Amino acid sequence: MTESTSALTLTGIWKRFPGVIANSNVNLSVGAGSIHAIVGENGAGKSTLMKILYGMQKPDEGTITVAGIPTQLNSPSDAIELGIGMVHQHFMLAENFTVLENIILGNEPKHGVSLDLMAARNRLSALATKYSLQVPFDEYVSELGVGDRQRIEILKVLYRGARILILDEPTAVLVPQEVDELFSALRDLKAEGITIIFISHKLDEVLAIADEITVMRAGTTVAAVNPKQEPVTARELAELMVGSELPTPDTSENTVTDKVVLSVTALTVANSDGKNVVDNVSFKIHSGEILGIAGIEGNGQAEIVDALLGVVATSGAIEFLDTDITSWTTRKRRENGVAVIPEDRTRQGLLLEAPLWENRMLGQQTVAPNARGVLLDPAGAKKDTWRIVREFDVRTPGIDVHASALSGGNQQKLIVGREMSGSPKLLIASHPTRGVDVGAQAAIWEHLRTARAAGLAVLLISADLDELIGLSDSIAVLLRGKFVTTVDPHTVTPAVLGSAMTGAGE
Amino acid sequence: MKKRALPRVLLLLSGGLLLLSITRVVSGANDLTSTGTMSAAFGLAVPIGLAGLGGLWSERAGVANIGLEGMMILGTFGAGWAGWQYGAWVGLVTAVIFGALGGLLFGLATVTFGVDQIVAGTAINILGLGLTQFLAKLLFTTAPGGGATQSPLIFGELPTFTLDAVANPLNQLQKKDLFLISDISGMISGLFYQLSILTILTVALFGFTKWLLWNTAFGLRLRSAGENPWAAESLGVRVNFYKYFAVIVSGALAGLAGAYLAIVATGVYRGGQTAGRGFIGLATMIFGNWRPGGTAVGAAIFGYIDTLQLRDDANIRGLVLFGTLLLLVISALLLKSGRRNSGIAFMIFGIVMGSAFLSANSFPPEVAQVAPYLTTLIVLATAAQRLRPPSADGIPYRKGETH
Amino acid sequence: MNHLKKLGNSLLAPLLALFLAMVVTSIILVAFGSNVVMVFQQMWGYGSKASSIALILNLATTYYLSAVAVAIGFKMNLFNIGVNGQYLLGGMTAAAVAGRLTLPGYLAIPITILVAIVVAAAWAGIAGWLKVSRGVSEVISTIMLNFIALGIISYTIVRTNVGEEIAVNVRGTRKIPTSGQMPGFTFPNSNIEVYGFIFIAIFIGIGYWFLLNRTRFGYDLRASGMSPSAAVASGVDSKKMTLYAMLISGAIAGLVALPDLLGSSHTYTLNFPTGFGFTGIAIALLGRNNPLGIAFGALLWAFLDVSSQQLDLVGVPREIVTILQGVTVLAVVIAYEIVRRNKVKAQQRDVGLALADNKEGLVL
């Protein structure tokens, strides 16, 4: 593709953050009037790239060319001026405003001093018809479903004159029928000359809609394919995404026993829109077993954890050590041996404004060594905090500092140490080594293996394939709230794992 | 949802009026709907309504303002201090300015410094009270006719009107004690009887607010600050500007309410004359579901209840009967719509009130005194489920922070 | 080093705020033609007399209790603005009961205290229940309950036989017999007794610290205030917590009337001081909900209140002190917010630096 037919070109983009290279040597060439998909797993660098495309970050090196003209994007306003419009994954809509009000906010047509709603309506109707994006202008957004909301976000940018649309994981929240509607709209947009950049990890969908595909992995672009010219299969794409080799699993002995610690049957969790984000899921974990759950984030993992913790309403049954705990409170579950390393440590796992030793107590504040009867045991908690600091290598000036003073990695180490104390029977570990340096990560894995050998049952949720394959005895793949397959870490191939995770199909 | 509201409100009002009329006839408390009572009710509705409108401006921009009471106190003081020296009109303007300054200070604390909104509001209340107490003692003790907690009489008055053409015939009709017809006439004639210019101004302000906030770009942006400031920011709206504007207007309106209390209702500044109306105003705002129309209705209702403090025994009995009937009707409606717990709760309240009515021959004035506050509590407790506050109301916002 | 530095830092904000308030007050005084230095001298001179110190301690005792009541709510992000209504109702009921008791002191006094606590807690519980079951903001409900309490009290004293004519044109509850009164003590040069209740107040302060920092319940309470989501994930039942917090806050509020009631007035009349609730809020904010901080705040506030009594005699309205107090509160909350933001920024810098050592491939 020549420069003149490219709507947007990125060359040699590098972006670094303290201690981390987010994008390295990224090259992207988006054909004018095409639908261009950028695919990759979580952590592949898509988010950062997208922020650069939209002017929210400036690259450290490299050039950006829009319609053949090299340019600098210093802020989202610059991007808007150049006709680049971003449709965020998390919609920015005012629930109590109508669709019309949400779209025109900040760019209102006026008749003297009053709002000229008639003009707004006409303009929007024209736009909606032109691009086949029908939305009910006078409904409150709170009444509308996800598909409509997305169309509103697209109209928002079109209303401001965008010619290049960036959509961030647009199908993450859609059901298949809504996906079809979206794609139909995208094709209509394309027919009108709009260029679309589409960021996703769902390979089957990408293959259905994209004219061009760029694959990212580990911060760089690894491949650019044009499916119309050279057909590519989903499996091939999946392999590109996850890498041609998977980590080798740990070949230590099998410690899985026959004793069932956790038995989940037909678990279903619905979100506020009524959609089942966890759909009829069943599994068992035995003492001495680590069950890994693979899957792109947002497919129901967080909700499974919430359900096991007892903080959301569920249907289905949860049995722990042969007792039905479905109706048990969170406190009771924790007191009886359920430990959780939460996904969002600052919101669910820590009291940022409290000292470390008080954080050590969080989740276990009713049992030893933190408490004796109704009273707390600060001396006991402090002593045990020092133990955790030593055993889990928490880098801290002391145990009286606030948790907020620790780096993310050290916070995580504290949490892991805390949750593994007190001889839990079941550990739910959600991204347990997120933000932790490599050395400490290995140490945490060793702790997990030791506990497993001693009979701990672990539910491991992770986006890190090293971790999943290295630790799990078996891996279940979660896609759109359902388990689609179970694989053996010793024999699984990248293609199979990648395809299952992304729904690429066989 | 916008369209459904109007008929519902009308239905509620007509139902209420019918009930009131029945009560009057049954209990013989003819003052319940007399011209005098209605006129007083509209009058007392003004400060409450202005406070509610002030609260509405502020909360629509996302800032919960419980400092309205303090701003109102500043208003009463401004009216008294400027009013006794320079006349009612100057007093009016001064009151508004003083209230607005209170709003500005509140905005500084909450919008710029990000102090918790309730804490800042409480601080404004403390400061407003202290400042006015100090200045009153300092300035009024030696002034002619004044005292440590009271200003001298404000000289001059704000004009009042009586639309004789409408008021007189309706007044005659009201005196005839006909079921329902007299009550309605009483209400309407009360509205046109000794109508203060401030009341007219208040009605105008309500209308202006509705137009400004719902029919202009300015209003849309201000409301967006209270619904989703991060979305607004992403579209280039200057959220903090609108928040400041809103809280200053909020203070000005509270100051205006203070002006009414000082100039029209009593003629002096007197310590304690606000009597919690700033908070009752907030309650009317909640009752009105954060909309001007509903707030006005709420203010009228609370104003009505406020007047009954001035009426005599028979009428307080009438009020208690009305309350009983109202509670029983609400209870029936709740039970019918399937809300058993609430329905039963209301029935119990109704029976308690009913027994009180039947067993006592006269009621202590404390009942009327407590009525507005008790009503507020009951209204808030019932209305909780149907409310639609602005989505980002009370939530601290900082420019540039991701949500 | 750490502890001293921490103490220094936490005193810095209120001291700065006080200083700012003094500046503002001085400006006002000058604007109205008063001699600033003279004013502060008068206040200090009067306030440091022995009798004044006794008065200050007494007032501070009352303020302290009120502030602790408010602080317990604050710890859970609940605003109990209803301390006024709670202590007045509790105080009146306790006075009425105490007036009719003929039991010896060691029985009468605990009973009196118990009545005050129970009534006030129940009153606060109404707001708590409304919040938990109907989602009514406790800010407005407690304020409304304040006014309703005033009505109930007025009715009870004036129109029932709970109130008696205890002096010319003054109705109040029956005077508490000597057996039901709480003895105090005086120190040299003072002709005013210090309330015995001060020891109970100190005990409450210790109890407050103990409850919050040494019990499981206190931990749950603080956690709910710091991070509701983390607290829920750790097993806290947030609705129960809200209700308990309001009940305990109300219970302590009930004590506020007792120092005066049991120590000097021995009867509840309609002239009983009614502003202690708001003072409590101000002092709780000043002392940052910390038992020692609140103690300092209460003493400071009481000092200002007592020493300003002198000012009327020299032609300066004593309400100048109210301005001082009001500005201090506003300045303090702003100062605390600024300090908090700077702390967070500083920590984020530290995190950034620490991450630089981190070789793990964190992608954003």
Tell me the residue ranges of DSSP E strands in A323-376.
323-324, 338-341, 371-372, 375-376
C233: contact with A, CB 8 A cutoff: yes
C345: contact with B, CB 8 A cutoff: no
Of C107, C273, C301, C109, the C-alpha closest to C199 is C109
Q: Is the pLDDT of residue A104 over 80?
A: yes
For residue B24, which amino acid is it? R
A-to-B residue pairs, Cβ atoms closer than 8 angstroms: 54
Q: Which residues of C touch A407 (CB under 8 A)?
A: 350-351, 354-355, 358
Instruction: State how far residue C337 is from chain A, nearest Cα, in angstroms.
Output: 14
A-to-C residue pairs, Cβ atoms closer than 8 angstroms: 137
Q: SS3 of B344, please?
A: helix
Measured torsion, CA atoms of residues B354, B358, B360, B361, in degrees rounded to the nearest 10: 130
Query: Is C363–A362 a contact, with Cβ atoms under 8 angstroms apart?
Result: no
C278-328 confidence digits (pLDDT tens): 889 989 988 889 898 899 889 989 988 888 887 777 777 778 888 888 888
Q: Is the pLDDT of residue B218 over 50?
A: yes
- Say if CB C124 and CB C82 are below 8 A apart: yes
Q: Residue C127's pLDDT is what? A: 95
Q: Residue A244's pLDDT is what? A: 66
C323: contact with B, CB 8 A cutoff: yes
Looking at the partner chain, which of C213, C223, C359 has a beta carbon nearest the beta carbon of A437? C359
A327: contact with B, CB 8 A cutoff: no
Average pLDDT over residues B339-357: 79
* Count of beta carbons in the 10 Å neighbourhood of residue A3: 11
| Nearest Cα residue in chain C from A51 | C364
Q: Residue C3's pLDDT is what? A: 58
Which strand (E) or helix (H) includes residue C354? helix C320-356
Q: Which residues of A touch B391 (CB under 8 A)?
A: 94-96
Positive/negative CA dihedral, A192, A198, A202, A203: positive
Instruction: State how far residue C244 is from chain A, nearest Cα, in angstroms.
Output: 16
Q: Residue B46's pLDDT is what? A: 94
Average pLDDT over residues C183-207: 87
Q: Which residues pair with A87 in a beta bridge?
A: A167
Cα distance between residue A146 and residue A89, in whole Å: 11
Query: Is A437–C358 a contact, with Cβ atoms under 8 angstroms apart?
Result: yes
Query: Is A351–C362 a contact, with Cβ atoms under 8 angstroms apart?
Result: no
| Nearest Cα residue in chain A from B400 | A56
Average pLDDT over residues C64-87: 94
Query: Is C140–B116 a contact, with Cβ atoms under 8 angstroms apart?
Result: no
Query: Is B1–A140 a contact, with Cβ atoms under 8 angstroms apart?
Result: yes
* Count of beta carbons in the 10 Å neighbourhood of residue C343: 15
For residue A465, which amino acid is it? L
Of C292, C296, C284, the C-alpha closest to C336 is C284
**CA-to-CA separations, A420 to A252, A362, A452, A474, in angstroms, rounded:** 21, 13, 11, 21
**For chain B, give me the number of helices (H) and strands (E)?**
16, 2
Q: Residue B100's pLDDT is what? A: 97
Average pLDDT over residues A311-334: 90
B215: contact with A, CB 8 A cutoff: yes
Q: Please list, in sequence order, all residues whose beta carbon lies within 8 angstroms of the beta carbon of residue C143, skipping any fewer than 6 positions away.
A: B276, B279, C81, C82
C115-126: b (≥16 Cβ within 10 Å) or e = bbbbbbbbbbbb
B24-38 confidence digits (pLDDT tens): 777 776 667 777 777
Q: Which residues of C touch B119 (CB under 8 A)?
A: 285, 333
β-strand A371-372 against A20-31: which pairing, if any? unpaired
Instruction: State how far residue C138 is from chain B, nearest Cα, in angstroms.
Output: 11
A159-199 confidence digits (pLDDT tens): 988 899 999 888 877 777 788 888 998 999 999 889 999 88
pLDDT class of C362 with cuts at 50, 70, 90: very low
Q: Is the pLDDT of residue C268 over 50?
A: yes
A101: contact with B, CB 8 A cutoff: yes
* Count of beta carbons in the 10 Å neighbourhood of residue A121: 15
Q: Which residues of C touch A347 (CB under 8 A)?
A: 227, 229-230
Cα distance between residue A481 and residue A505, in whole Å: 16
Q: SS3 of C170, please?
A: strand
**For chain A, give me the number of helices (H) and strands (E)?**
16, 24
Task: Work out the percent of chain A whose per-residue pLDDT is above 70.
Answer: 95
Looking at the partner chain, which of C353, C360, C364 has a beta carbon nearest the beta carbon of A436? C360
Q: Residue A282's pLDDT is what? A: 93
* Count of beta carbons in the 10 Å neighbourhood of residue C288: 18
Give the ipTM of the model, two decimals please: 0.82
Instruction: State how far residue A151 is from chain B, nearest Cα, in angstroms.
Output: 16
Classify residue C313 as exposed, middle or buried by CB count within 10 Å of its CB (0-12, 13-18, 19+).
exposed
The model carries a pTM of 0.83
B208-245: b (≥16 Cβ within 10 Å) or e = ebeebbbebbbbbbbbbbbbbbbbbbbbebebbebbbb
Angle formed by the axes of helices B117-140 and B68-86, nearest 10° = 20
Looking at the partner chain, which of A108, A113, A140 has a beta carbon nearest the beta carbon of B220? A108
A138: contact with B, CB 8 A cutoff: no
Q: Which stretch, B184-193, B271-280, C160-169, C335-344, has highest mean pLDDT?
A: B271-280
Average pLDDT over residues A382-410: 86
Query: Is A375–C214 a contact, with Cβ atoms under 8 angstroms apart?
Result: yes
Q: SS3 of A260, please?
A: strand
Cα distance between residue A380 and residue A399, in whole Å: 13
Task: Work out the percent of chain A whose per-residue pLDDT is above 90.
Answer: 27
Q: How far is CA B271 from the centre of its chain?
A: 19
Please state which of the ranges B213-227, B316-330, C108-122 shows the lowest mean pLDDT: B316-330
H runs (alpha helix) in B176-276: 181-192, 197-215, 217-227, 229-234, 239-259
**Best residue of B122, B302, B316 to probe chain C, by most C CBs closer than 10 Å:** B122
Q: Residue A506's pLDDT is what? A: 42
B60: contact with A, CB 8 A cutoff: no
Query: Is C237–A441 a contact, with Cβ atoms under 8 angstroms apart?
Result: no
Cα distance between residue B130 and residue C108, in whole Å: 39
Phi, then psi, of A462 in degrees rounded to 5 = -155, 150
Q: Residue B401's pLDDT is what? A: 62
Tell me the residue ranges of DSSP E strands in A201-275.
212-217, 220-225, 260-270
- Say if CB A505 and CB A499 are below 8 A apart: yes
Q: How far is CA A297 from the centre of its chain?
A: 4
Looking at the partner chain, which of A17, A371, A407 has a beta carbon nearest the beta carbon of C216? A371
A363: contact with C, CB 8 A cutoff: yes
pLDDT class of A1 with cuts at 50, 70, 90: very low
Q: Residue C2's pLDDT is what? A: 54
Of C328, C251, C230, the C-alpha closest to C68 is C251
Q: Is the pLDDT of residue C364 over 60?
A: no
Looking at the partner chain, which of C218, C226, C232 has a beta carbon nearest the beta carbon of A311? C232
Cα distance between residue C337 and residue B123, in whole Å: 14
Q: Which residue has the tokens 């293609």?
A: A495
Q: Residue C361's pLDDT is what? A: 37
B291: contact with A, CB 8 A cutoff: no
Task: Work out the percent of chain C whose per-residue pLDDT is above 90.
Answer: 35
What is the three-state SS of A267-293?
Answer: EEEECCCCCEEEEEEEEEEECCCEEEE
A35-64 confidence digits (pLDDT tens): 999 988 766 788 788 888 888 788 888 999
Q: Is the pLDDT of residue A126 over 60?
A: yes
**Best residue of A20, A23, A430 to probe chain C, by most C CBs closer than 10 Å:** A20
Q: Residue B71's pLDDT is what? A: 97
Cα distance between residue C363 and residue A50, in whole Å: 13
Cα distance between residue B193 and residue B162, in whole Å: 5
B76-131 confidence digits (pLDDT tens): 999 999 988 888 899 999 999 999 999 999 999 999 998 989 889 988 998 999 88
The interface residues of chain B toward chain C in range 345-364, judged by CB-CB distance below 8 A, are 364
Please state which of the ranges A4-13, A275-284, B27-36, B323-332 shows the lowest mean pLDDT: B27-36
Q: Residue C85's pLDDT is what? A: 94
Cα distance between residue A428 and residue A451, in whole Å: 13
H runs (alpha helix) in B61-116: 68-86, 88-107
A424-474 confidence digits (pLDDT tens): 999 999 988 877 777 777 888 888 888 898 889 999 998 777 788 888 999
For residue A410, which amino acid is it? N
Tell me the residue ranges of DSSP E strands in C59-115.
none
Which strand (E) or helix (H) includes residue A86? strand A84-87
